[in-house]
Structure 1
Amino acid sequence: MSPRHKKPAPGPTTGNSPATALLANDPILRTVSRAVFALVLLFAFLLLWRGHNAPGGGFIAGLMTVCALILHRIATGTSALRVDPIRLVPWGLALAFVTGLVPYLLGRPFLKSAFGYITTPLTGEFEWASALLFDFGVYLAVVGGSLAIAYALIDVDPQERVEGDQ
């Protein structure tokens, strides 16, 4: 068996349950999940980008990203992230807090958003806003927290016995 087709060792980025192992070997799910993963992530980034001017934002974009990452985990048995998702939470909270704190330190209301317009030959005129940084902080916190919870639930093996079970 080639190294490419070896089953990954159980660990924090692989599914340990028998159900996850069965789904990870389904060729239809693996094939369809690649396209769906890309489309859901693209939609999530659109929601994040437009969130400060239209419905959407960091929270719903984070939930959409979590759905795509869970689909990837179910289809392949491995995580698409290279880091532990819980590490994203403090970075997201810090970014959201600092984004709100900077205007306050400059004598403006907390979370006051600055905005302006940039014109480029490729995209024409588009608006930038500091609210996007706040939304990105929320996005990181939601992705990290939700994925940590989801991965903990995915790794539960109902057949596992612990001390004190009869």
Structure 2
Amino acid sequence: MSGGRKGRAGKRPAARPGPAARPNALTDVGDPVLRVVSRAAFALVMLLTALLLWRGHNAPGGGFIAGLMTACALILHRVANGRCALNFPPLTVVPWGLALSFTTGLVPYLLGRAYLKSDYGYVSTPLTGEFEWASALLFDVGVYLIVAGSALHIAYELIDVNPRERVEDDR
């Protein structure tokens, strides 16, 4: 055999797969137990998230912890199933959360009260009985959207990193 990199049969060795063809541990999920358990865990974590968000303005919890718990549940879903549960990029909810949080704080200020001053009242329904509502919940929802969107964006960017890829400046 003369020159070049030819194999035994005279063929060139297969080229390395491109980035799209490289196997990824998070997209080649083959563990059915993880997928089944993650469904139940996802549902339970999201219920806990709703409770933390709902009770957060009166008790420990709130938008920050609920946003982190949502991000963890969605990361678990992606690891277990190899795909994102959202149909949109998570960073798109951050501006909505910023607008909601800012507006919730601005409205009392425009009405002559302190910035972020919360208002509350009681509502009674046949289904739930009497419960308290508070404008702080809207602020918490804004924080929830900011934290969940940014945490998911950071995590998904880190998940998509392939440390074997080289850039032009690597030697």
Same fold (TM over 0.5): yes
Confirm or deny: 8 A CA contact 2:52 2:62 kept in the other structure: yes
Give the corresponding residue for 2:101: 96
Q: Which residue pairs with 1:75 in the alignment?
A: 80
Question: Which amino acid in structure 1 is aligned with residue 85 of structure 2?
Answer: A
Identify unmatched segments of 5+ residues in structure 1. 1-9
Q: Which is richer in helix?
A: 1
Query: Quick check: 2:97–2:143 contact (8 Å CA) kept in 1?
Result: yes
Q: Distance in 2 between matches of 1:55 and 1:159?
A: 43
What runs of 5+ residues in structure 2 fail to find an aligned partner? 1-18
Aligned to 1:144: 149
Q: What residue number does 1:26 align with?
A: 31
SS in 2 for 1:128: strand
Larger Rg: 2
Within-5 A mapping of 1:56-135: 56-135=61-140
TM-score by length of 1: 0.88
Runs of at least 4 residues of structure 1 off by over 2 A? none
Q: TM-score if structure 2 supplies the norm length?
A: 0.85
Contact preservation (8 Å) 2:27, 2:83: no
For the aligned residue pairs, the C-alpha RMSD in angstroms reads 1.4
SS of residue matched to 1:20 = coil
Mapped contact 1:17–1:155 kept (Cα < 8 A)? no
